[in-house]
Structure 1
């Protein structure tokens, strides 16, 4: 349904003085600009914090809603560079940079929306944030959930949501599906997805102590959201950039490592890693580069340099076997 949002004003991000004035007067701030843009907004944030300090305003919390590991620390360090050295520490003690786990999915927007500012999103509205990074008082905001075990929620997003999406992307692409929801309904893909989420779920419960019933409900809700046809998420989008997604700490190899460390065999996760290694869309630069490296360097070297999988490791042998079987 359409929900009009009123009481909105806009300030150009490059107008540092105007942004600083807004930050000096607000109760809470947040960023959702993309990790690559954080260096560009840091100067305005620093100017706003300096202004608040000079006016003896209350502490300000800046919710960092970016898909970046330790995004709160990254932004804090960037802002610190733009603060005067003699007041830097005092100013930073009055600013919080709580990182958020952003899980709301946004469908592909129409090229020409009916209204210039219209945006379509799913109904999901939970936003866990790092409670330990809050300074002073944070206003009550619907959906914002300060959590004490933030690392656990961050890991669950990566190894449940992101890992699940990657599974739909790579296996769906392999099976010739266009959309993630089509792959979800596939009698080939769905059993592997269920096995993947079972493996990572068990590993997360063992590592972080999630309540089993709560985690199972979380996964069931996530699968229901994955099935949303309105999102229009393509297997290509879910699979693109395989070199990054196959990184040692990322959603696939990182999930397999967590399984190993907690005594869970990552048999299904390994199948997805193998499918990712064979993702060969000519429309994705990363996929083209990955296939070129496998051809020229060999699978063993790629597993070592891209995935951090050393020759002779049990996980390496599992991936190599799964890769060959998919050829």
Structure 2
């Protein structure tokens, strides 16, 4: 089996590319970083440091690489069996035209074998979004054939892959945590679903998308924003503070109550999932900077993202939410001179105040009662930390 994987960065090499290669799939990475592509295509292997209760090295083989803008990539897509991505949500639209060209090349070569495309991004229904973009570039004469032969499969992905150590001798080496989860929507495949160890299938993907968003992402960002207020530099430092740990755990329990009500998750199993995630944050082998986790606060305050969406769920089901409220209030303090969104947020906050800032960036209406709670909590945090 052959796969083309867009994105040869740390997540591409340390997570999806590794899962595929470990399952004996021949992986061709596609990336615009020429030195990275050249080294991958020359070495055709790299090392992954897997860290959990201990640390060990795993070698990844069965890989190659091509430039994303090359004819060689279109040739690879013409006969590949699977396409995956780990490029980041902002880059998906930019690779859509290339994917459309690859699909057209398959059809022109009379290759009518089913092809499945899976966007493995930190994005709800990212592949469905990618499909819409691909069809903008795909010739209209191929639309019906693509609907029949090309599967666009949504997925939920979860693995912490911190930035590489700058002192690392080999730029291809990457560090990842032991835990990984890749869940795909089995209802969206065309042809047979490939059997890949490490890729799980489900008919109810949104339950797992929201489980990850409301638990890992919610807990991660609240740890970062409370940690930043307390002066910590890493997620591990923050979660080892007993007061922050208690508040983060309580926030995840409040978001978890939404999941239990909405999807029928077992409450004890979900509590175990929360406990596992907190221990992942405290992994001594992972250095995850608060500056990295906290970046782009405007996006993370969006109505469908990790802070507001679980809060809205608590309002829908009339559930406790004071710790989720605190996480949102803490986000308003995030200030990073290197982050354009943080600068914009702080500027608007200073000019217009808390309520106007929340209305602009969260989608909450000016008459929503929860605005009072968030503002009161913000003022309490301001008094405590500023």
Does the pair score TM above 0.5? yes
Aligned partner of 2:73 in structure 1 is 19
Distance 1:259 1:37 in 2: 32
Mapped pair 1:78 → 2:78: no
Aligned partner of 1:89 in structure 2 is 144
Mapped pair 1:200 → 2:219: no
Distance 2:249 2:211 in 1: 15
Q: 2:106 aligns with which of 45, 52, 61?
A: 52
Task: Determine if contact 2:211/2:259 at 8 Å carries over to the other structure.
Answer: yes
Mapped pair 1:153 → 2:208: yes
| Runs of at least 5 residues in structure 2 that lack an aligned partner in the other structure | 1-55
TM-score calculated relative to the size of structure 2: 0.80
Distance 2:381 2:111 in 1: 63
Mapped pair 1:295 → 2:366: no
* SS in structure 2 of the partner of residue 76 of structure 1: helix
Mapped pair 1:38 → 2:107: no
Q: Measured at CA, do residues 101 and 112 of structure 1 come closer, stay the same or move farther in structure 2, by a change above 3 Å? A: same
Distance 1:295 1:218 in 2: 39
* SS in structure 2 of the partner of residue 30 of structure 1: strand
Distance 2:375 2:249 in 1: 22
* SS in structure 1 of the partner of residue 256 of structure 2: helix
Q: 1:114 aligns with which of 169, 176, 183?
A: 169
How much does 1:248 deviate? 2.0
Task: Determine if contact 2:254/2:321 at 8 Å carries over to the other structure.
Answer: yes
Aligned partner of 1:232 in structure 2 is 287
Aligned partner of 2:380 in structure 1 is 325
Task: Determine if contact 2:186/2:193 at 8 Å carries over to the other structure.
Answer: no
Distance 2:236 2:168 in 1: 24
Mapped pair 1:131 → 2:206: no
Distance 1:157 1:106 in 2: 16
| Runs of at least 5 residues in structure 1 that lack an aligned partner in the other structure | none
How big is the alpha-carbon RMSD for the aligned residues of Structure 1 and Structure 2?
Answer: 1.7
How much does 1:112 deviate? 4.5
Distance 2:376 2:162 in 1: 36
Higher-strand-fraction structure: 2
TM-score calculated relative to the size of structure 1: 0.94
Distance 2:205 2:275 in 1: 21
Distance 2:82 2:372 in 1: 50
Distance 2:170 2:337 in 1: 34
Aligned partner of 2:315 in structure 1 is 260
Which segment drifts farther, 149-158 or 20-29? Answer: 20-29
Q: Measured at CA, do residues 89 and 232 of structure 1 come closer, stay the same or move farther in structure 2, by a change above 3 Å? A: same
Mapped pair 1:278 → 2:313: no
Distance 1:294 1:257 in 2: 22
How much does 1:319 deviate? 0.6
Task: Determine if contact 1:80/1:92 at 8 Å carries over to the other structure.
Answer: no
* SS in structure 2 of the partner of residue 170 of structure 1: helix
Distance 1:228 1:169 in 2: 15
Aligned partner of 2:24 in structure 1 is none
Aligned partner of 1:103 in structure 2 is 158
Distance 2:196 2:365 in 1: 46
Q: Measured at CA, do residues 34 and 240 of structure 1 come closer, stay the same or move farther in structure 2, by a change above 3 Å? A: closer
